[in-house]
């Protein structure tokens, strides 16, 4: 088990264009990536400040998990992502600990990263994303 660091914080927003302007122009974050992930139903803008990352998430449609989150809880922190080296061993460990996972089979996230979500019912109401760097990083 090797938990590396908090990789990023994901924030659900209603209007990505408005949100990114605030986070970039007002708060001073720098845009590092922009991506639409159809399989996850999201449009994402990744921002960075001094090595710390924020991911702004806008729903692609009403069936998107982010749309459901927004309808239920409104804008705000959607998930916290932790970077890991060996996703499979973390998944096995969590299962052994009785922690509920949203998906056991890794899905593809931003930048081709492999991701698994821990169910917030097991982690104090916080959706936790385990993320393992994919090949799409230069
Ligand atoms: Zn994320």
Sorted by where each begins, the domain ranges of the chain are 5-137
Distance 69 CA to ligand 1 centre (A): 14
pLDDT given at position 73: 95
Q: Fold for 5-137, please state it.
A: 2,3-Dihydroxybiphenyl 1,2-Dioxygenase; domain 1 (3.10.180)
pLDDT given at position 32: 96
* Per-residue pLDDT reduced to its tens digit, 99-133: 999 999 999 999 999 999 999 999 999 999 999 99
The answer to pTM > 0.85 is yes
Question: Which residues fall within 8 angstroms of residue 41, CB to CB, at 6 or more apart?
Answer: 59, 60, 61, 63, 64, 65, 66, 67
Distance 96 CA to ligand 1 centre (A): 24
Distance 127 CA to ligand 1 centre (A): 10
In the chain, what percentage of residues exceed pLDDT 70? 97
pLDDT tops 50 at residue 138? no
Distance 11 CA to ligand 1 centre (A): 9
Sign, CA torsion 45/20/67/125: positive
pLDDT tops 50 at residue 36? yes
pLDDT given at position 90: 96
Distance 75 CA to ligand 1 centre (A): 15
Distance 81 CA to ligand 1 centre (A): 6
pLDDT given at position 125: 95
Q: Are strands 42-49 and 30-37 parallel, antiparallel or unpaired?
A: antiparallel
Distance 55 CA to ligand 1 centre (A): 6
Distance 78 CA to ligand 1 centre (A): 9
pLDDT tops 80 at residue 136? no
Distance 97 CA to ligand 1 centre (A): 23
Structure tokens at 75: 């804008």
* 3-state class (DSSP) for residue 111: helix
* Per-residue pLDDT reduced to its tens digit, 43-98: 999 999 999 999 999 999 999 999 999 999 999 999 999 999 999 999 999 999 99
């Amino acid at each position: 088990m090797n938990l590396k660091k908090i990789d990023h914080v994901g924030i659900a927003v209603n209007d990505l264009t408005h949100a990114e302007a605030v986070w970039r122009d007002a708060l001073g974050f720098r845009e590092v990536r922009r991506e639409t992930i159809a399989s996850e139903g999201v449009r994402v803008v990744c921002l960075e400040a001094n090595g710390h990352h924020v991911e702004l998430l806008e729903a692609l449609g009403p069936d998107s998990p982010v749309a459901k989150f927004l309808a239920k809880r409104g804008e705000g922190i959607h998930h916290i992502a932790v970077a890991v080296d060996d996703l499979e061993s973390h998944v096995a460990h969590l299962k052994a600990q009785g922690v509920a996972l949203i998906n056991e089979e890794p899905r593809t996230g931003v930048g081709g990263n492999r991701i698994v979500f821990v169910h917030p019912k097991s982690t104090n109401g916080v959706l936790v994303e385990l993320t393992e760097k994919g090949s799409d990083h230069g």
